[in-house]
């Protein structure tokens, strides 16, 4: 199976489009954590770690959730993106310091974007399309998403 970075090269541009900031996607486990995804910020650039090998639809939901954090934008500046995946969490590297409200808000944004794409996807999808095709179509549609 190809790597996610080969399959989804458009995710960085999509993350910037939805989140409003430059984003680097790292297909690596978040450092020091068991979570599937982690967003950190260094200066004006965001870094999203996504654990490789996740179920495709779950991966896309994790991606959208992390982009939700970019959109919300109130992460602490961290060095998490520099550290190896298996390192211990350091000081001020945890976006959850921003609190549960931020997690809820990121979930709501992810759900909203996914629903938005699903609602527009039917004419482009065939019933038997595998999940990676669905994700490609959702991602392509979301590139045209505009805030109303
Ligand atoms: Zn989160």
Q: Is residue 94, in this structure, part of any structural domain at all?
A: yes
Q: Phi and psi of 29, rounded to 5°? A: -60, 140
Q: How far is the CA of 103 from the centre of ligand 1 (A)?
A: 5
Q: What is the domain count for the chain?
A: 1
Q: How confident is the model at residue 76 (pLDDT cuts 50, 70, 90)?
A: low
Examine residue 147 and state whether it is found in any structural domain, yes or no: no
Distance 146 CA to ligand 1 centre (A): 23
**What pLDDT does 92 receive?**
38
What residues contact residue 19 under an 8 Å CB cut-off, 6+ apart? 46, 67, 68, 70, 71, 73
Q: How far is CA 19 from CA 84, 129, 130, in A?
A: 25, 28, 27
The Cα 75–Cα 34 span in angstroms is 19
pLDDT of 6 > 60? The answer is yes
Q: Which domain holds residue 82?
A: 4-142
Q: Which residues surround ligand 1, an ion (CB under 5 A)?
A: 103, 106
| Cα 110 to ligand 1 centroid, rounded to whole Å | 10
Whether 148 is in a domain gets the answer no
């Amino acid at each position: 199976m190809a790597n996610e970075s080969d399959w989804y090269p458009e995710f960085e541009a999509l993350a910037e489009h939805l989140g409003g900031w430059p984003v680097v996607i790292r297909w690596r486990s978040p450092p020091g954590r068991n979570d599937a995804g982690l967003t950190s910020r260094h200066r004006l650039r965001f870094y999203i770690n996504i654990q490789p090998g996740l179920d495709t639809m779950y991966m896309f939901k994790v991606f959208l959730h992390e982009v939700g954090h970019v959109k919300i934008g109130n992460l602490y500046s961290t060095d998490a993106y520099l550290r190896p995946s298996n390192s211990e969490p350091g000081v001020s590297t945890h976006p959850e310091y921003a609190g549960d409200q931020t997690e809820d808000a990121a979930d709501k944004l992810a759900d909203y974007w996914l629903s938005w794409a699903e609602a527009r996807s039917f004419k482009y999808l065939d019933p038997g399309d595998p999940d990676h095709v669905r994700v490609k179509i959702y991602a392509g549609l979301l590139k045209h998403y505009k805030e109303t």
